[in-house]
A and B are shown apart, each in its own frame.
Chain A
Amino acid sequence: ETGVTQTPRHLVMGMTNKKSLKCEQHLGHNAMYWYKQSAKKPLELMFVYNFKEQTENNSVPSRFSPECPNSSHLFLHLHTLQPEDSALYLCASSVREVGEETQYFGPGTRLLVL
C-alpha cells in the first residue's frame, strides 16, 4: 500500500471523448504531481501542485487540464486527445520542503487513445 491511489487503472478512449483521471493521497502530503510515462522515454513531469496551487506546468498541451480541489485530491481532465497521448499516467505526492524530497507514487492509469 503506497498511500497514493489512482482510478481508473485502465482507460480506453476515443479522440473525441472527455474523461478524467483521479488521484488521492492518504499520506498528509502537501504537494502532488502528474507524470507521463511513455516507452523508452524518461518520466515527463506534467504538473505540480503545492498546497492546491499549481506551481509547474511543463508546456503541457491544453487538452490536459489539471484540477486540485484540496491537498489530498488531484484530477487530470482529458479532452480531444491524440493517439500519441497513450501512456501510463502516474500521480505522486510529497512533503514539499528541503530535505524531504521523496515522492510517493500511485500505481498509474494506463491510457489508450484510439
Chain B
Amino acid sequence: GNSVTQMEGPVTLSEEAFLTINCTYTATGYPSLFWYVQYPGEGLQLLLKATKADDKGSNKGFEATYRKETTSFHLEKGSVQVSDSAVYFCALSDGTGANNLFFGTGTRLTVIP
C-alpha cells in the first residue's frame, strides 16, 4: 500500500540553524512526492514537489530530493527564519491519476530568535 512516515516533532531551532525533516515512503507504482506547509490558522500550502527519482524540488530556500533507493524525500533548509515556524507535511500521490494524496502526521517546527 501507500504510506508516508515523517519524523516526529516538535522541532525547535534557533534562527539561522540548519533544518532537516526526515520523510520516508512506501508506495506501489511511481509516486510523486510533496512537502506541504501549514502556517498557524491556515490551510495547507504546497511548498515543493518532485515527480520522479532524483528530481530535486525547491522553493523559498527549502529543498528535497526524491531518492528511490532509500525511499526518502527529506526536507532541508540551510538557514531557517522565525517566519518558517509552521507544521510541515510530507505526502505522496500514487501516480495513477486518481490524485489521492497520502500524508504523514506532520512535523511542527518552531524557530526562535
**What residues of chain A have their CB less than 8 Å away from a CB belonging to chain B?**
2, 4, 6, 31, 40-43, 45, 48, 55-56, 90, 92, 94, 96-108
Taking the complex as formed, is B25 at the interface, i.e. its CB lies under 8 A from any CB of chain A?
Answer: no
Minimal beta-carbon separation of A30 from chain B (angstroms) = 10
CA distance A90 to B51 in the complex (A): 24
Distance A108 CA – B43 CA, assembled complex (angstroms): 6
Cross-chain contact B101 with A90 (CB below 8 angstroms):
no
Interfacial chain B residues near A97, Cβ < 8 Å: 97, 99
Number of interface residues of B (CB under 8 A): 26
Asked if A90 meets B44 with Cβ closer than 8 Å, knowing A40-B105, A101-B32, the reply is yes
Q: Shortest CB–CB separation between residue A9 and chain B, in angstroms?
A: 9
Q: Which residues of A contact B32 (CB under 8 A)?
A: 101
A98-B95, A98-B96 known; A103-B101 Cβ under 8 A: yes
* A106-B43, A107-B43 known; A43+B99 contact, CB < 8 A: no
Is there contact, CB below 8 Å, between A98 and B97? yes
Please give the distance in Å from B23's CB to the nearest CB on chain A. Answer: 13
* Assembled-state Cα–Cα distance A106/B96 (Å): 24
B99 near A101: Cβ-Cβ < 8 Å? yes
- Most chain B CB within 10 A, of A41, A96, A100, A101, is at A101
A-B contact pairs, 5 of them (CB 8 A): A43-B103, A90-B43, A101-B99, A107-B42, A108-B43
